[in-house]
């Protein structure tokens, strides 16, 4: 867990303690829901990044020579909102794939549009037509699931095969 995440969790716990001491059950309930959603968001982001890293690892074992760099406490814009999360960059020569995933942490950061819990994107340096946007949404079957959102707003499930295809494009 990054220092940012530890500080965030600590501040949320302090706020819950203060709300309980002041008898603010409504605030305690909100903060509990927020903490539960943040836990789902964090697991969703980790699944996404772990899946991309696993795909890169498979290709590297076959001699691809991909380099990986991860940045936590990363901020990126989605529309008018700021997401806070992680960035993973895979490189091979001049080609690179950047995967960013996160969610707004403070009210000034804005919202995740479309009923989502978190936002992400896969961006191909020099080949923007291959970029994709992802949205983490609540699911009845599991904690949450990632969807691919196309330019027209259509949504389809995001599977590991699609992430592997993004990574494999670095070898084209």
Does pLDDT of 1 surpass 70?
no
pLDDT band at 30, cuts 50/70/90?
A: confident
Phi then psi for residue 159, to 5 deg, are: -115, 160
Alpha-carbon distances, residue 32 vs 10, 21, 37 (angstroms):
13, 15, 9
Model confidence over 50-88: pLDDT tens digits? Answer: 999 999 999 999 999 999 999 999 999 999 999 999 999
- Mean pLDDT lowest among 28-37, 63-72, 130-139, 152-161: 28-37
pLDDT band at 115, cuts 50/70/90?
A: confident
Contacts 24+ apart (CB under 8 A), 9-16: 12/38
């Amino acid at each position: 867990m990054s220092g940012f995440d530890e500080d965030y969790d600590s501040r949320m716990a302090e706020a819950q303690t203060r709300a309980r001491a002041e008898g603010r059950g409504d605030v305690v309930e909100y903060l509990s829901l927020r903490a539960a959603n943040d836990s789902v968001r964090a697991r969703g982001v980790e699944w996404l990044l772990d899946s991309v890293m696993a795909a890169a690892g498979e290709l590297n074992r076959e001699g691809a020579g991909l380099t990986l760099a991860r940045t936590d406490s990363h901020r990126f814009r989605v529309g008018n909102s700021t997401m806070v999360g992680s960035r993973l960059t895979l490189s091979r020569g001049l080609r690179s794939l950047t995967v960013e995933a996160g969610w707004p942490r403070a009210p000034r950061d804005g919202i995740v549009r479309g009923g989502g819990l978190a936002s992400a994107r896969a961006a191909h340096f020099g080949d923007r037509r291959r970029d994709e946007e992802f949205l983490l949404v609540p699911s009845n079957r599991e904690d949450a699931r990632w969807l691919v959102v196309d330019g027209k707003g259509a949504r389809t499930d995001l599977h590991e095969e699609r992430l592997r295809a993004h990574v494999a494009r670095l070898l084209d």
